[in-house]
Structure formats: structure tokens, C-alpha cells
């Protein structure tokens, strides 16, 4: 049965915002089988895979392809010049272009570079917590979860402080275009693109010690990044580097505050924070679904043959609570021994920024819990709401008592 479209009275996971509703819909779908015919918020028909085993298998299957910039959101409406400039990225490419692009970004976005960022992340986190002053109640989404990752990724790329509020205003519109609509998406995308092009020219004239300057100079043999690849890389890094970490932090705090036994365990044994973050990613990760793939040839999933040329998305949120792989998966258990989660994807398109997101979450959660021993929710958990989106699984707000 197709997932209902917007305008249908039945709920669907993309527009489900009430507490627990989204996970309940995905659980119902998983219980009915591993693959489902769906209608996306844009009205486009496709297929959704919800089981853990089939999700991991498909994300490594070469018969699922991205198809290039032409398959990017609103590509046909944006015009070729704009669509190429924002969608010529790893997320929309296949080998050999994907291989080259990923090699280039991993050559400058190294684990060593992430480790070197840790002191700066600690300083930024401390400054944000200091800014809370003597408040008793604070909303941790705008106070910590959102500004920390955007400042980290902008610092890494080399985006100046004065431009960061603009990036923070553009990214929600860009990451959920199917919800906000074409006009708002186009306005945000064009604004970000214009700024990015100007920033690239500035760093060509005066290279600095930042990721964008390194990307401008990066080579893979004789192949330099094209201009469209360069602007698309910045576009991707800002969006993915900000949104995933922001929702990981907020969802993670909520998960701990609604599981007091687990919170107490983390406080008693700080060394459990890293495995706790992995369980947070599984339990309530920052992404609902992958961006679309396309079947290059027929693919069988759970006894269903998906024809060639069909759109496929993998429901990461559903896969990470699949009871066949995660018994009791609706409960947070930081001591859980379980298969690897798919919160950052799997296979060829596994998130290159995953180590940075984990580092940000580890530092932010550790410092928050240390600073505020009495931290607790300021509203009933059932009143918290989710942001409508095809891709993102995030909270609109997270009010807490700090003292």
C-alpha cells in the first residue's frame, strides 16, 4: 500500500511531527515487509526499503545508482547552470566520478584534521554553555545543537563569522525542499551559491589555512576539481556537516533525558559516552531516509522485483529499529551488543563527515552533562515535536531545566 500523500488524512512519516508518531509509522511499515511502494511529498512515486538486512545489502548494490546532477532536487526547474553548480557532488555521482571526488575530500578531510578540531569544538561548546548564564530553562536546539555544528563546519571550510547566520537560515530550506516548496528552496539555494562563488574567488586570490583553500588546490593526478564540483562540494559539506550533527546532539540529549537509568549510567561511567552515541544514532538518528537512488536494472528485494529506472529510498530510521536485528529496539540501551547501525548510511555513499559528527556529539554531550548535573526536560516528552522532512529526523525544540 502506498504511503499516503500530503493532503490525505492518514499520517505519513515525512509530515508526522507528533511525539513517537514517526517511529510508529516506520515500525508498522517494517512489520508489513521489507519494501513498500511510496508516494513522496512531491507526488513522485518510488520504493522505500525498511528492513535492516535489505537496507545494508541495497546500499552496497551496484545496480542502485545516483545518476548525476540531473537527478538532484528540482534540477529541471533550476536550470542547468544552477543545477550543475549545486548537484555535481558525491551524493549524486557514481564511479568513477564518485571515486575521484571522495578521494579528493578524504585527502583533505582527514581523521587527523578532525582530531585537531577537538580543542576548538571544546572552546565553542564552552562559549555556548557560558552564554546560557544563570538561566534555569533553555531551548537546547537554538542554544547548542544548531550553532555548534554550523560554527564548526564554517570554521573548517573557512566561512567567516559574519556569514554564518545566513547559512543557518538557508540550510533548513535546502535540506527539506519537498516540504518547503520550490520557491523557498530556490531562493536559499541561489543565495548560498552566490556567496560560495564569491568566497571561492576570494580564497583563490588569498589562500588560507582552511578546507576550501585546500580543495581549490587539491589534485587527483592531473584532475583538478571543476568549478561545479567545487561549489557543489561546499554546498554538500555545509548542509550535511551541519544538519546531521545538530540533530544527533538534540536527539541524543532527548534520548538520555527520557531514559533516566541510561543517563545515570553515562554519568557514573563517562567512558560509556562513545558507545552511548552509537546507540543514540541507532535509536533516534538524525536522518530518516537516504537521498533517492535509481535502479539501473531490475532488483529483487524481499520477494518484490523493483523494475529498472525506479526511484528507491532506504529508510534508515526504520532499519535501525528493525526487530529482526534489534530486539527491543524501541528502548535506548547503551550496553546493547548489536549489528552496526545505518544512521550514516552504508557502502559507497557512507557519510564522509561521520567522524566529525561523532566528535561534536561526544564533546557537546560530555560538557553539557558535566556542567549541569540536574539537567532534565522542561516539558512532558509527549509535547516535543519533529520537523517535517523527507530526509531529516530532528526536533523543533528541546526545552530543558539546567538547574
In the structure grid, which three cell numbers stand for residue 121, read together?
A: 569544538
In the structure grid, which three cell numbers stand for residue 135, read together?
A: 538561566
Mean pLDDT computed over 187-209: 94
The domain segmentation of the chain, as residue ranges, is 21-401
Least-confidence region, from 177-181, 203-207, 295-299, 361-365: 177-181
219: burial class by Cβ within 10 Å (0-12, 13-18, 19+)? exposed
% of the chain with per-residue pLDDT over 90: 77
Does pLDDT of 130 surpass 60?
A: yes
What pLDDT, on a 0 to 100 scale, did the predictor assign at position 222? 59
pTM of the complete model: 0.93
Does pLDDT of 1 surpass 50?
A: no
Q: Strand 376-377 vs strand 223-224: parallel, antiparallel, or unpaired?
A: unpaired
* Eight-class DSSP state of 89: S
Residues forming beta bridges with residue 224, ordered by sequence position = 219
Binning pLDDT at 50, 70 and 90, where does residue 144 land?
very high
For every residue of 26-58, DSSP letters joined together read HHHHHHH-SEEEEE-TTS-EEEEE--HHHHHHH
CATH class of 21-401: mainly alpha
Q: What is the pLDDT of residues 244-287, one digit of tens each?
A: 999 999 999 999 999 999 999 999 999 999 999 999 999 999 99
Mean pLDDT computed over 172-186: 88
Mean pLDDT computed over 181-193: 93
275: burial class by Cβ within 10 Å (0-12, 13-18, 19+)? middle
Q: What is the pLDDT of residues 156-168, one digit of tens each?
A: 999 999 999 998 8
**H helix runs in 258-310, sequence order:** 260-268, 273-284
What pLDDT, on a 0 to 100 scale, did the predictor assign at position 215? 86
Phi then psi for 203, rounded to 5 degrees? -80, -20
150: burial class by Cβ within 10 Å (0-12, 13-18, 19+)? buried
Q: What is the pLDDT of residues 377-388, one digit of tens each?
A: 999 999 999 999
Distance set, CA 83 to CA 78, 104, 157, 231 (Å): 6, 22, 22, 11
Mean pLDDT computed over 26-46: 92
Residue 97 backbone zone (phi > 0: left; psi -120 to 50: alpha; other: beta): alpha
238 or 398: which carries more pLDDT confidence? 398
Amino acid at each position: 500500500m502506498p504511503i499516503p500523500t500530503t493532503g490525505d488524512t492518514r499520517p505519513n512519516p515525512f509530515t508526522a511531527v507528533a511525539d513517537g508518531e514517526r517511529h510508529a509509522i516506520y515500525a508498522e511499515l517494517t512489520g508489513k515487509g521489507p519494501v513498500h511502494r511510496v508516494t513522496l511529498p512531491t507526488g513522485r512515486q518510488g520504493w522505500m526499503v525498511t528492513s535492516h538486512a535489505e537496507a545494508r545489502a541495497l546500499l552496497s548494490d551496484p545496480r542502485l545508482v545516483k545518476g548525476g546532477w540531473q537527478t538532484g532536487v528540482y534540477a529541471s526547474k533550476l536550470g542547468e547552470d544552477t543545477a550543475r553548480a549545486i548537484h555535481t557532488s558525491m551524493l549524486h555521482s557514481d564511479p568513477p566520478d564518485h571515486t575521484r571526488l571522495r578521494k579528493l575530500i578524504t585527502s583533505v578531510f582527514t581523521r587527523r584534521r578532525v582530531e585537531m578540531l577537538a580543542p576548538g569544538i571544546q572552546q565553542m561548546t564552552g562559549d555556548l554553555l557560558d552564554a546560557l548564564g544563570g538561566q534555569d530553562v533553555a531551548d537546547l536546539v537554538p542554544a547548542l545543537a544548531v550553532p555548534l555544528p554550523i560554527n564548526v563546519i564554517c570554521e573548517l571550510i573557512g566561512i567567516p563569522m559574519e556569514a554564518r547566520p545566513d547559512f543557518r537560515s538557508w540550510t533548513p530550506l535546502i535540506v527539506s525542499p519537498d516540504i518547503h516548496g520550490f520557491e523557498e528552496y530556490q531562493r536559499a539555494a541561489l543565495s548560498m551559491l552566490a556567496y560560495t562563488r564569491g568566497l571561492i574567488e576570494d580564497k583563490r586570490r588569498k589562500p588560507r589555512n582552511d578546507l576550501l583553500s585546500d580543495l581549490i588546490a587539491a589534485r587527483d593526478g592531473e584532475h583538478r576539481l571543476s568549478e561545479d564540483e567545487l561549489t557543489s562540494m561546499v554546498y554538500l559539506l555545509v548542509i550535511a556537516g551541519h544538519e546531521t550533527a545538530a540533530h544527533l546532539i538534540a536527539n541524543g540529549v532527548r534520548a538520555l533525558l527520557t531514559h533516566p537509568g541510561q543517563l545515570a549510567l553515562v554519568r557514573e561511567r563517562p567512558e560509556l559516552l562513545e558507545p552511548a552515541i552509537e546507540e543514540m544514532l541507532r535509536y533516534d538518528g538524525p536522518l530518516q531516509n537516504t537521498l533517492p537512488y535509481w535502479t539501473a536494472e531490475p532488483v529483487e528485494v524481499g520477494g518484490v522485483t523493483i523494475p529498472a529506472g525506479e526511484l528507491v529510498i532506504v529508510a534508515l530510521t526504520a532499519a535501525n529499529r528493525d526487530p529482526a536485528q534489534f530486539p527491543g529496539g524501541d528502548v535506548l540501551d547503551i550496553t546493547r551488543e548489536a549489528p552496526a547501525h545505518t544512521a550514516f548510511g552504508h557502502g559507497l555513499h557512507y557519510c564522509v563527515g561521520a567522524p566529525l559528527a561523532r566528535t561534536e556529539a561526544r564533546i557537546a554531550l560530555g560538557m553539557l552533562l558535566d556542567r549541569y548535573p540536574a539537567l532534565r526536560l522542561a516539558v512532558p516528552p509527549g509535547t516535543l515535536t519533529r520537523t517535517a522532512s523527507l530526509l531529516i529526523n530532528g526536533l523543533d525544540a528541546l526545552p530543558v531545566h539546567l538547574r
